[in-house]
Amino acid sequence: MSVQAPLIRARRLVKRFGELTAVAAIDFDVQRGEAFGFLGPNGAGKSSTMRMIGCVSPRSEGELSVLGLDPEHDGPRIRSRLGVVPQQDTLDTELTVRENIVIYGRYFGLSRRELHQRAQRLLEFVQLDGRSADRVEPLSGGMKRRLTIARALVNDPELLLLDEPTTGLDPQARHALWDRLFRLKQQGVTLVLTTHYMDEAEQLCDRLVIMDRGRIAEEGSPADLIRRLSTREVVELRFTAETPPVTAATFDGRVARIEALPDRLLLYTEDGDALVPTVHERLHPQGVLVRRSTLEDVFLRLTGRTLID
């Protein structure tokens, strides 16, 4: 049993912007060394939560401690031990790759000599060491993201906060980034990330909370959430004409749940392949796909909506 205090602890945490309640009394703990995720659609309150953890945005109500300190009084002290990868890049694109890291490191009070060494090491880590003297402007989106991560690591943070780290990147760039984050996790850096990509959450998170409209709907490991809240497999059907009306009775009780989306029908079942002949025989779909359940299905079950509208 670990008796170590959590790295982040939130109780009844609230964030309001005027009339709007962005975060509505949420509780969570993040332990040292884990990769913790906030999964949810845009507007779920993920970024507001991240900004409170990052001591940029003051909380409206509730308790919050980060690294055992109170963000309200110890903002600069906490921030000196955090690494932050914001949703929107904040690189100075007129400066070079290396200058961006060095200048950022100066905000933490690190010496120039030290920073030049660290910049070299960090740029190697994110595979940008060949570009260190180039201006940032012409770099690809994925390279800029990797530079932002390198920059966030300049103060050797105990906790790395990543707000939608791969939004807007192509699949290859996303995988390259996940690989780097996975290595950081292996090195013992605690990761906290927000995402609306369920594959990202499944790839990176040991544990996550699913957020919707400012509240936490569920909490657990990706596998645990899928096991508890979905079936093992899903049969996805597409139709040329209108989706025929179906109920669980259509499939003799072999389907636990049915979701009708605008473009497809989802049948939740323990054994997808076994169901396919029945589906063809009774519904004549244009396309049939059998797949494993994902966090997307969990989210759909919890909120009745898909993650990306």
Partner 1 sequence: MPYALRAYEYWLASYRRVWRGSLATTVVSPLLYLSALGVGLGTVVNRGRGLGIPYLDYVAPGILASTAMLVAAFESAYPVMSAIRWTRQFHAMLVTPLRVRDVVLGQQLYVATRVSLAAGVYLVVMAAFGTIHSWLAVLAFPSAILLGFAFSAPVTAMAAWLERDEGFNALFRFGVTPMFLFSGTFFPITRLPPPVRGIAWATPTWHGVALIRGLTLGTAQLWPSLGHAAYLAAWGCVGLSLALRTFRTRLVQ
To 5 degrees, how large is the angle CA 306–CA 163–CA 107? 170
Least distance in Å: CB of 150 to partner 1? 13
Build a one-symbol-per-residue string for 16-45: x at contacts with partner 1 by CB under 8 A, - elsewhere: -x----------------------------
Least distance in Å: CB of 92 to partner 1? 5
Least distance in Å: CB of 84 to partner 1? 4
Distance CA 218, CA 238 (A): 30
Q: According to the binding rule CB under 8 A, does residue 117 interact with partner 1?
A: no
Q: According to the binding rule CB under 8 A, does residue 89 interact with partner 1?
A: yes
Among 82, 201, 216, 279, binds partner 1 (CB under 8 A): 82
Question: For the chain, first and last CA: distance in Å?
Answer: 42
For residue 242, the SS3 value is coil
Residue 230 to residues 127, 192, 201, 221, 270, Cα–Cα distance (Å): 39, 25, 16, 13, 9
E strand or H helix at 25? strand 20-30
Least distance in Å: CB of 43 to partner 1? 16
Neighbours of 85 (CB within 10 A): 24
Residues facing residue 91 across a β-bridge:
none
| C-beta of 151 vs 196, nearer to partner 1 | 151
Q: According to the binding rule CB under 8 A, does residue 54 interact with partner 1?
A: yes
Stretch that binds partner 1, among 73-81, 181-189, 258-266, 270-278 (CB under 8 A): 73-81
Among 77, 131, 232, 264, binds partner 1 (CB under 8 A): 77
Q: According to the binding rule CB under 8 A, does residue 108 interact with partner 1?
A: yes
Stretch that binds partner 1, among 28-36, 76-84, 180-188, 282-290 (CB under 8 A): 76-84
Stretch that binds partner 1, among 100-108, 117-125, 194-202, 203-211 (CB under 8 A): 100-108
Distance CA 6, CA 52 (A): 16
Note whether 31 and 185 are within 8 A (CB). no
Note whether 264 and 286 are within 8 A (CB). no
Among 4, 73, 76, 240, binds partner 1 (CB under 8 A): 76
Q: According to the binding rule CB under 8 A, does residue 99 interact with partner 1?
A: yes
For residue 3, the SS3 value is coil
Q: Which of 288, 292, 84, 301 is nearest to 199 (CA)?
A: 292
Q: What are the tokens at 77? A: 């002290």
Q: Contact residues for partner 1 (CB under 8 A)?
A: 17, 54, 56-58, 75-77, 79-80, 82, 84, 86, 88-95, 99, 103-104, 106-109, 155
